């Protein structure tokens, strides 16, 4: 199919001539957003409205079922899983949702992700880094006042009035213990010896000041004890320095070593739903097992307190539990279905609204009405020819965006352009960017095809 696309692109360079007519470009370029679609804002498209309504009803039934706590939202890449999930949970009122999304890069925040191998040590390191990233994203979405006992806290600035209060309190305590406490101690000793004491007005003032100091001291100590993170203390005794914070967490499992903290974070987050995205891209199933265990433990804590349940949503690809990913040594044909249905309480498949059978309609609605395109029939035929190579909505949107920008730039430079040539290059650039970049270096498949096409045209 790629060779077929190359030939179609190369043919654009000798079958079509640029138009000589003067056209006025659009004064503004409106780009298509590549972010997830917000279906709650769509009112004009009846099909997309009904499409979202179906999934909204399904999700309503799932969230209202007391027995469902782990939900799999499955579909291929670019099918619109995030659009459905984000639209639904952003629409819910009175519910708290937390999103945890992990992009798949070779290195995450300085921690190298090893390639997929059978070595258990390497897979364990991948697990540890993933767990660390999940905890980091979770902590940064929870107000620190809700999790004072957590070992993992996000840094934040202290407000000026708190700095002033703490500084003034410390100064007052220093002055009190330095100057007033000896006087008070002396008076107490004298009163004990000469009981009952004969209190003067200055004595009442000292008593009042002492009460205020005790209140300040109580507030400061309770703050330290309540929010103190003792795992971060550095203990130096008998020449042994123990620092519990500075550890190599690439070899330490967050979920195993800090299980109580992780459960505490999820519980005290007060969240109703936690949505995990892109976990499937690491081909690591142990992380799903650990999250399911954590979900069970959190809901057990909440049940004992008669609190609301916590639901985990896993937005993943259909292939995450394929035979080769689950167990390469197992020859069972049903292992994929067994593992997937055993792990999730319910599975919601997302059917894409755009594929290569209707991508032509999308391109036609976005590009054919352009007043600068004169030969509508010829351009429409070309759109149909290239649409069969595209089946992803985000890819379609990106092609439309780049076409608009390139077209505007060429017009501002007073260059004459063939729109079919331009669109053909943009499509190929999007689908095969590496070979397209080789074009400027006079090498690659596209360069060879164009060169041969131009040589045939000269003959």
The pLDDT assigned to 10 comes to 58
The pair of three-digit structure tokens given for residue 111, joined into one six-digit string: 């921690």
Please, how many CA atoms are within 13 Å of residue 416, restricted to the half-sphere of its CB? 7
Q: How, if at all, do strands 240-243 and 234-237 pair?
A: antiparallel
Whole-structure pTM value: 0.72
- The per-residue pLDDT string of the chain (459 residues; one tens digit each, 9 = 90 and over) reads 555 555 655 555 544 444 444 444 455 788 888 888 888 887 556 667 788 999 999 999 999 999 999 999 999 888 889 999 999 999 998 899 999 998 654 444 444 555 544 455 556 677 788 888 898 889 888 888 788 777 766 666 677 887 888 888 888 888 888 888 888 888 777 777 777 777 778 878 888 888 888 888 888 787 776 555 544 444 444 443 434 444 555 556 778 888 888 999 999 999 999 999 988 877 777 888 899 999 999 999 999 888 899 999 999 988 777 655 555 555 545 556 677 778 899 999 999 888 888 899 999 999 998 888 888 999 999 999 999 989 888 899 999 999 999 988 877 666 678 889 899 989 999 999 999 898 888 888 888 888 888 777 666
- Asked, as a colleague might, if the bond just before 9 is cis with ω within 30 of 0, I would say no
The token duo for 422 is: 């331009």
- What is the chain's Cα-based Rg? 33
Helix (H) or strand (E) holding 235: strand 234-237
Q: DSSP secondary structure string, 339-362?
A: HHHHH-SEEEEPPPS--TTTHHHH
What pLDDT score was predicted for residue 160? Answer: 82
Q: In angstroms, rounded to a whole number, what is the distance separating the alpha carbons of residues 29 and 207?
A: 75
C-alpha distances (whole Å) from 390 to each of 44, 91, 236, 395, 399 are 25, 31, 63, 7, 10
Q: Which of helix, strand or coil describes residue 118? A: coil
Q: Which of 4, 103, 84, 1 is nearest to 36 (CA)?
A: 84
Vertex 73: Cα angle to 72 and 78 (nearest 5): 145
Residue 44, pLDDT score: 58
- What is the CB neighbour count within 10 angstroms for residue 271? 21
b/e 203-219 (16+ beta carbons within 10 angstroms → b): eeebeeeeeebeebeee
């Amino acid at each position: 199919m790629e060779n077929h696309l190359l030939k179609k692109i190369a043919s654009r360079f000798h079958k079509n001539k640029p138009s000589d007519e003067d056209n006025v470009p659009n004064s503004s370029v409106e780009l298509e957003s590549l972010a997830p679609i917000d279906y709650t804002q769509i009112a004009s498209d009846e099909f997309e409205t009904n499409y979202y309504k179906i999934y909204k009803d399904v999700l309503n039934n799932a969230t209202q079922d007391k027995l469902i706590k782990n939900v799999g939202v499955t579909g291929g890449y670019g099918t619109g899983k995030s659009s459905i999930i984000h639209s639904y949970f952003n629409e819910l009122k009175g519910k708290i949702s937390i999103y945890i999304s992990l992009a798949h890069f070779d290195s995450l925040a300085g921690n190298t992700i090893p390639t997929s191998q059978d070595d258990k040590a390497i897979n364990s390191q991948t697990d540890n880094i993933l767990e660390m990233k999940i905890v980091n994203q979770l902590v940064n979405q929870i107000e620190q006042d809700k999790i004072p006992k957590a070992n993992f806290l996000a840094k934040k600035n202290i407000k000026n009035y708190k700095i002033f209060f703490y500084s003034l309190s410390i100064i007052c305590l220093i002055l009190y213990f330095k100057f007033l406490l000896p006087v008070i101690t002396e008076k107490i000793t004298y009163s004990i010896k000469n009981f009952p004491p004969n209190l003067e007005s200055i004595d009442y003032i000292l008593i009042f000041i002492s009460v205020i100091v005790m209140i300040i001291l109580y507030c400061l100590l309770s703050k330290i004890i309540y929010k103190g993170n003792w795992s971060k203390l550095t203990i130096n005794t008998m020449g042994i320095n123990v620092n519990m914070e500075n550890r190599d967490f690439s070899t330490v499992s967050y979920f195993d070593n800090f299980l109580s903290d992780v459960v505490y974070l999820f519980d005290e987050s007060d969240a109703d739903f936690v949505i995990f995205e892109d976990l499937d891209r690491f081909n690591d199933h142990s992380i799903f097992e650990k999250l399911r265990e954590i979900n069970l433990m959190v809901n057990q804590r909440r049940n004992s307190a008669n609190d609301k349940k916590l639901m985990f949503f896993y937005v993943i690809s259909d292939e995450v539990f394929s035979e080769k990913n689950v167990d390469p040594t197992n020859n069972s044909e049903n292992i994929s279905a067994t593992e997937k249905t055993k792990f999730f309480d319910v599975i919601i498949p997302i059917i894409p609204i755009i594929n290569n059978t209707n991508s032509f309609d999308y391109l036609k609605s976005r590009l054919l009405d352009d007043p600068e395109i004169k030969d509508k029939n010829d351009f429409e035929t070309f759109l149909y020819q290239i649409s069969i190579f595209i089946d992803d909505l985000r890819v379609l949107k990106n092609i439309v965006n780049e076409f608009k920008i390139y077209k505007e730039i060429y017009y501002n430079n007073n260059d004459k352009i063939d729109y079919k040539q331009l669109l053909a290059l943009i499509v190929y650039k999007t689908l095969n960017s590496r070979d397209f970049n080789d074009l400027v270096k006079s090498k690659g498949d596209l360069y060879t095809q164009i060169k041969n096409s131009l040589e045939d045209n000269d003959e």
